[in-house]
Amino acid sequence: MQLRLNTATADQIKNAWAFAVDKDHVGKRARMGNAWRHLNHSVITACSKEAKNLGIQAGMRYEDARTLLPELKVLVYGRH
């Protein structure tokens, strides 16, 4: 996968984005005490074509996606 990052254009990296959900809140109401949970509890649910070309996949942990592509723009939902 590192090879993909080395061959990525600046435009591909700029246009890479993903949605993630806090897996502890799927199907539950968010509680105030959990509003600032660490992002490691999030899972990628959808991503752009550019992100897919760079190795990001639905079902991947947020932490792994950011390790693979630190410039990835991620919107985490399912939080308070």
**Residue spans per domain, the chain:** 2-77
CATH 3.40.50.2300 fits 2-77, yes or no: no
Helix (H, G, I), strand (E, B) or coil at 79: coil
Q: How many Cβ atoms are within 10 Å of 2's Cβ, its own excluded?
A: 8
Q: What is the pLDDT of residue 76?
A: 85
Q: What is the pLDDT of residue 25?
A: 59
Q: What's the whole-model pTM score?
A: 0.69
Q: What is the helix, strand, coil percentage profile of the chain, to 5?
A: 40, 20, 40
Chain-centroid distance of CA 59 in Å reads 9
Tens of pLDDT, residues 22-55: 876 555 544 545 544 555 678 999 999 999 999 9
Of 11-15, 25-29, 46-50, 72-76, the one with minimum mean pLDDT is 25-29
Q: What is the pLDDT of residue 19?
A: 92
